[in-house]
Every structure is written in C-alpha cells, then in structure tokens.
Amino acid sequence: MRIVVVFLLLAGVAAAVVALIAKHQEPSPHGTASAGPTDGECATCHRKRQPGMMVQWDASAHARMGVRCEDCHGADHEQIFRDEGRVPAARCERCHEKETREFLASVHGRASESARKNARLLAQIPAMQRRGCMACHDMGGGDHGRCNACHGAHRHSVADARRPEACGVCHMGPDHPHIEAWRASPHGVTYAACRDERQAPTCATCHMPGGTHDVSGGITIGRAGSGSVLAGETPPIPMGVIERAAAEKQRQAMLRICEGCHTPRLARHALEDADAIKREADRLVAEAVKIMRGLHADGLLDPMPSDRPAHPTAGHALVLGGGMLYENHSEAERIFFDLAKFAHAITFKGAYHQSGDHTHWLGMARLKEDLEELKAEERRLRGRR
C-alpha cells in the first residue's frame, strides 16, 4: 500500500516536471510562468540544455555552498531573457561587498565607459564596436559589470583568476603585449616550468596583492595606454600625470612585492631602468610630434585634416593622442600612429615586464625605425628628395 502511494506521488511530480519542461521547450519572450520556476527546476532543465555549463557549475564553490541560480539571475525568466542572461556585478555585491566595491571603483570598473567615448570606437560599425573594442572593454560597472571576465561563469574560481591566462585574454596584442612580454621574461619562463606562483610571479601577484580588486596599486609612470609623466614634466601626447610623492609611495609598494623573492637592489635597479626607457621612448615621440606639428602648420599633410571627413570627436583638428584614427588620414600620420600607438607602448610595457625582446627588437628598434621613416616622409613632403 505504502509503495503504491509513493509511486503515485512520484508519478505526479514527474508529470508536473514534464509539463513544465514542455512549457519551456519553445521559449518566447512572453512564454514563461509569471510565478517563475524554482531553483531545482532551473538546474534540472538547464542540465539538459547546456550540460557543459552545468559541469562548470558543479565544480564551483557556489554549488558546494548552496548558492542558488536565482541569487545571480533572479527567478523571473522573462526578465532573464530581457537581460540576455547578463548578471551585473551589483548582484554579487550582496555576498562579496569588498571585491565588488573595489572592482567597480577600479580602472576595470570604468573600462567600458572609457572605450565607448573613444573616437576609434565611434568610427566603427556597431558589430565591430561589440566584437572588436567591447570584447575586451565590456567589463565596466553598472548594468554591464562582468566579474566573469576573470572568474568565468559558472566556475567562478579564484584559482582560475590567478592564472596569467585570465588576464592575457585582454592584456595582449600590439598595444599592450603584457602576456607576451611576461611569458618571454624570466618570470614567465620560470612559471611555465613550475606553475607555482610562490616561485614565479603572475599578473595577480604584482597587480592584485592581498586579493585587492584595485589593479592600479604600485603603478607610477608605466600606467595603461601611453603611460604617465611626473607632475611638472611635459608629455609629448596626452598622458596621465602623477605627483612625485605619490609615485615614490607606489614604487615602494611594488618593491615590497619584488622583495619577496629579490634583493631591494636588484628590483629597484630593474624598475629604474624601465623608468629611464619610458622617458627615452617619450623623448622620441616628442621628436615625432614636432615633425607632425611642423608639417601640419605648413599645410603639407596629404591630405590635410581640413580636406577630410570630420574626425568623430575632434572635427578637423590634427589628433596625435589616444583618439587618433588609423583611417582617413595621411601617410605621415600612418607612420606616426605605428610609432606612438604600438612601438612606444611595446617598448616601455616590455621594460616594466622584463622582456628584452619587447623592450628592444619589438619596441625600441621599431620606434627608432618609425622615426627615421617619418623623417624621410617629411623630406619627401618638403620636396627635398
């Protein structure tokens, strides 16, 4: 008798589940129950639909600790569709207050807005904006905050985020080859041999010490983009500015990390050489800027900005900094773009990350060659060749 009752009960539950699944089989923006499925139903149904995703979920601390799907996604499936499944960083805040606050206030928290107003983005078709720039920049705050840029939904793992690959997905390529430079450095080479961050530093060792989500600690004139200059110095193109006292404080913080493995002398000397290389690279950019301004003043750029379609943010002015386009410009500007956007950045970013190849061949050698090419173009435009 008991067995029959249990059987009937089970059959009833199964029928209800089948009905639910049927109801959700053909999802439409309006098609889901207003009360919303329960958490167990989320997992059951999605285990059928995205089994690989659920393997990640099962491996997570969240699954072990009883965090529910709806803690991040909410239980209203219509709203989930409207959000296209996105989970803003603010949803994590309830349980991870410190990390969320630090992340949202950091350069990463601002990464999407800084790209969205950039002229190079504005010159692209929407699909290019989304899959080109925003593939790396859609990690900023508010509705779009994506902690999974490093932690990966649904593993949401600390160990994953500590690996250099988690950063290298964005910190790579011709204007910020951090992962490439680090891999080529004694640090990356040693890490490849031991895979142990207590022996060789990864990105997170130096940039997220103590688990901070503010990645700007310990940075002085070697900051993102074209870097900074010390207060009182004149940057050749728009750059950040850092007070001397603040720079010394940040340097001390970075050196404390190095000193876990090195003597103060070795570490300070390496960073001071990188500072000197950054300044030398800035000086060469300044030389190039002078040539460009001269050609512009003498009406020799071919074509002149005044004779071209307007630049998205600067109209018909000459742009030489971070908003410079790589299209709709003259041959001299093409050379300058390579010099300032790529060669200059590779040189100093390579130097701060101990890659001789990036500092020298891929960086400084190309910077100097570009400058020579620009001088040749100047001679041509001035009719001296």
Does residue 207 contact residue 218 with C-beta atoms inside 8 Å?
yes
262: Cα separation from own chain's centroid: 29
The token duo for 264 is 């103060």
* C-beta of 107 vs 300, nearer to ligand HEC: 107
Is 120 a binding residue for ligand HEC by CB under 6 A? The answer is yes
Report the DSSP beta bridge partners of residue 311. 315
Chosen residue from 330, 347, 354, 355 binding ligand HEC by CB under 6 A? 354
305: Cα separation from own chain's centroid: 31
- Residues in region 123-152 near ligand HEC by CB under 6 A: 132-133, 135-137, 139, 145-151
Please report how close the Cβ of residue 205 comes to ligand HEC at its closest, in angstroms.
6
How far is it, in rounded angstroms, from Cα 148 to Cα 228? 29
Rg (CA), the chain: 27
* C-beta of 285 vs 295, nearer to ligand HEC: 285
- Residues in region 167-186 near ligand HEC by CB under 6 A: 167-173, 176, 178-179, 182, 186
Of 7-15, 263-271, 305-313, 364-372, the window that binds ligand HEC (rule: CB under 6 A) is 263-271
Nearest to 296 by CA among 324, 255, 275, 260: 324
* C-beta of 111 vs 318, nearer to ligand HEC: 111
What one-character-per-residue DSSP string does 171-190 give? S-STT--HHHHHHHSHHHHH
- Residues in region 265-294 near ligand HEC by CB under 6 A: 267, 270-271
CA atoms within 13 A on the CB side of 342: 18
Chosen residue from 281, 352, 366, 374 binding ligand HEC by CB under 6 A? 352
Single-letter amino acid code for the residue at 55: V
Binding mask 196-215 for ligand HEC (x = CB under 6 A): ---xxxxxxxxxx--x-x-x
331 CB burial (10 A radius; 0-12, 13-18, 19+): middle
* C-beta of 180 vs 378, nearer to ligand HEC: 180
Does residue 342 contact residue 174 with C-beta atoms inside 8 Å?
yes
Q: 3-state DSSP call for residue 240?
A: strand
The token duo for 93 is 């805040």
Nearest to 174 by CA among 34, 21, 370, 3: 370
* C-beta of 92 vs 291, nearer to ligand HEC: 92
Of 155-163, 229-237, 291-299, 369-377, the window that binds ligand HEC (rule: CB under 6 A) is 155-163
Of 115-123, 311-319, 331-339, 357-365, the window that binds ligand HEC (rule: CB under 6 A) is 115-123
Nearest to 355 by CA among 207, 183, 167, 166: 183
Instruction: Look at strands 240-242 and 228-230 and give their pairing.
Output: parallel
The site for ligand HEC, by CB under 6 A, has a size of: 122
* C-beta of 330 vs 355, nearer to ligand HEC: 355
* C-beta of 49 vs 283, nearer to ligand HEC: 49
* C-beta of 114 vs 328, nearer to ligand HEC: 114
Q: 3-state DSSP call for residue 230?
A: strand
* C-beta of 23 vs 382, nearer to ligand HEC: 23
Of 40-48, 301-309, 359-367, 369-377, the window that binds ligand HEC (rule: CB under 6 A) is 40-48
- Residues in region 49-78 near ligand HEC by CB under 6 A: 49-50, 53, 57, 61-62, 65, 67, 69-73, 75, 77
Is 346 a binding residue for ligand HEC by CB under 6 A? The answer is no
* C-beta of 60 vs 304, nearer to ligand HEC: 60
Chosen residue from 59, 78, 105, 162 binding ligand HEC by CB under 6 A? 162
How far is it, in rounded angstroms, from Cα 385 to Cα 376? 8
- Residues in region 235-254 near ligand HEC by CB under 6 A: 254
